[in-house]
Amino acid sequence: MAKTLRRSGGNGGITKPDPYATTAAARKGKSKTAAANNIFKMNTDIGQHILKNPGVAQAIVDKADLKQSDIVLEVGPGTGNLTTRILEKAKRVIAVEQDPRMAAELTKRFQSTPATAKRLELILGDVIKMPELPYFDVCISNTPYQISSPLTFKLLATSPSPRTCILMFQREFAMRLFAKAGDKLYSRLSVNAQMWATVTHVMKVGRNNFNPPPQVESNVVRITPKKPRPQVSYEEWDGLLRVVFVRKNRILRSGFLGTNSVMEMLEANYRTFCAQRDILLDDGPLDEVIGESMDVDEAGAGDEEWDGIAEMDDEDDLPDFFKEEADRKAKKLQDNPNRKKKGKVAELVRAKVKKVLETDTDLGDKRARLCDEGDFLKLLYAFNQEGIHFS
């Protein structure tokens, strides 16, 4: 035990130890520790929040129900807290890490156990930019929040489908996966996830279980792809959802007929469809152009440019009156007999789209946020029957 008092050699008196010496030594030790930690300072710009709670890490791996024959894809392994536990239960782990520092730390961690290291395949790179994912049975990921959406879509599109995916997400993003038609968080993500997989909640994870703690709470979800896989083209299905969820509070008629870029995309796809089947098209101008002097397009000033990006929900808080008024004006412009007409192919595609929305499905006046999976399937089938495709 350290002495608290010492006898002075000069005057025989008793003196206390120098408190500054102890404080300085503590600072010196702390500075060494800080210097060591700075080598692996987490880059929160790319979503580095290391799961430090061993109990949570073990619970995530247990929920995956791994088999000894499983190949596991781990996205963002970091320092390997999940990897260690996965290797105890699985045949092999394919870890995809973007940060070279973390990749080096992960390799170093398993150097002392060559038998285990042989079962770990480390890929340095961005999982989203990989042309295709290697074969795997299960995906486990403490997902960097910035890639939550693209990673989910990439996993849903993977063929053959994995048996299950256990993924950690920001809480609001996880709730989008469960959202139903009419919910505020209902989106393209909700429809896609529930079309291709069964999504179940696993557990909540507080922010203090991470180093450094993120600004938001997290949830772990299980995504189990449906088997057999629905007999629908993923590209076609997702293409339709991208269009309808650009503005999920607009009626579908406005989303299609009232958006120039969408109609141009459908026209281009229809031309490709006809070319592949040797269907001849009359590509000339209309014999009679009505109201040529009036340069009024399908949606006039209310036209929305579409660039393929979905889940733009900035209309959520707009009062219903204004939404209805905007839809009424857009419909009036669409039905305007003085609208400047385009070529014969463009008008043919327009007529087909109008037929699908108003006659074949009767969904023209419905909003995307209120449509369920059955409505979107009906739309896709009707469009495809008319030769209108989304991919």
Domain locations in the chain? Answer: 46-225, 246-385
Report whether 257 belongs to an annotated binding site: no
Each residue's pLDDT tens digit, 29-69: 444 433 334 445 665 555 578 999 999 999 999 999 999 99
| 92 vs 86: CA distance, rounded Å | 9
User: What would the two tokens of residue 26 be?
Assistant: 């503590």
The number of CA neighbours under 13 Å toward the Cβ of 201 is: 15
Report whether 333 belongs to an annotated binding site: no
What distance, in Å, lies between the first and last C-alpha atoms of the chain? 76
Q: What integer pLDDT is reported at residue 337 of this predicted model? A: 54
Each residue's pLDDT tens digit, 6-15: 444 444 444 4
Report whether 389 belongs to an annotated binding site: no
Q: What integer pLDDT is reported at residue 284 of this predicted model? A: 80
Low-confidence ranges of the chain (pLDDT < 70): 1-47, 287-341
Instruction: For strands 210-211 and 50-51, give the pairing.
Output: antiparallel
Report whether 97 belongs to an annotated binding site: yes
Each residue's pLDDT tens digit, 242-297: 999 998 999 999 999 999 999 999 999 999 999 999 999 888 887 654 433 333 33
Report whether 209 belongs to an annotated binding site: no
CATH superfamily, with its number, for domain 46-225: Vaccinia Virus protein VP39 (3.40.50.150)
The 138-142 sheet, strands edge to edge = 120-124, 92-97, 71-75, 138-142, 164-170, 218-225, 197-205
Q: What integer pLDDT is reported at residue 66 of this predicted model? A: 97
Report whether 155 belongs to an annotated binding site: no
